[in-house]
Structure formats: structure tokens, C-alpha cells
Amino acid sequence: MVPRVVLDTNVLVAGLRSRRGASFRVLGLVGSGRFVHVVSVPLVLEYEEVLLRRGAGLRLSRADANAVHDYLCATGEHQPIHFLWRPLLPDPRDDMVLEAAVNGQCHHVVTFNHRDFRGSARVGVTPVSPLEFLAKIGAVS
């Protein structure tokens, strides 16, 4: 069974800031068939906002940011949101990530912010770091 996950924006930013580390490796496996990454309309809008935000530490041209965004949209499984789990988490942006995971029948959110997803286990979703996720799919070298 191929794992189904939602990638939090902090993993996206970390993977694009540096070619070293687990986040870059996770992004490199997007579209490889090793896992399914689930996206929703609110989530891809947040991806877009983060990719284009000045001050995020990303050195991407607008064209490159759009290409990354388009790739994430093209390779992700689009999940409509049929029901809301709000409010469950302290931050509404994290609730939006959790909604995509729950509706997409994901077991994990790949994130650095485990603390922000306290309570997500009540709906069957647990946070994992990029390195933990790579270990789960046997992609740690």
C-alpha cells in the first residue's frame, strides 16, 4: 500500500532552501510513486502564497516558483473538502492542512511542527518529520 500524506508548507520551504536534508529528499520523491501527496484548494493556495512570499528565504524567480507550484498541483491527488474539522488545532492554517489529510484518508502530515498538530491523532492523523517519513517508506540512505 502506497502511503498517503500531506506535505506541510514548512517542509516545502526547507526543501527549497537547501539541497541538503530530508525535506529536499522528500520533495525529490514527489511524483515518484513512493507516496501519494494529497492537496486541496486551500492547501495549494497556501503553497502558492509561500512560494511567492518575499522573506521566506527562497531564491526562486517567479517563473520557478510557479513551476514548483504547478508540479505540486500536477502530481498531487486533488482532494475536495467534504467536511470540516475546525477548530481542532490552535492555528487555522494547520486545521486546513489537517482537513486535507483527513478527507484524503492520510495517516500522516509531514511537518517539522509536531507540536502544532497535537490533537490530530483524534482523527487518525499523526505528524511525522521528513526524516521519519523517509524512514517509513524505506528511503533513508
Residues 3, 108 contacting (CB under 8 angstroms): yes
pTM across the whole model: 0.93
- The reported pLDDT for the residue numbered 57 is 77
- Enter the C-alpha cell of residue 104: 484524503
DSSP code at position 47? H
- The reported pLDDT for the residue numbered 141 is 66
- Enter the C-alpha cell of residue 20: 541538503
Cα separation of 87 and 84, whole Å?
8
Select from 3.40.50.1390, 1.10.3680.10, 3.40.50.1010, 3.40.50.2300 the CATH code of 4-136. 3.40.50.1010
Sheet holding 4-7, edge to edge: 77-78, 36-39, 4-7, 108-110, 126-128
pLDDT in tens, 5-56: 999 999 999 999 999 999 999 999 999 999 999 999 999 999 999 998 876 6
DSSP code at position 130? H
Enumerate long-range contacts of 15-23, CB under 8 Å, 24 or more apart. Answer: 15/130, 16/51, 16/58, 16/60, 16/68, 17/57, 17/58, 21/130, 22/129, 22/130, 22/131, 22/133, 22/134, 23/130
pLDDT in tens, 86-101: 677 877 788 999 999 9
Residues 3, 139 contacting (CB under 8 angstroms): no
Q: Which residues contact 33 (CB under 8 A, 6 or more apart)?
A: 2
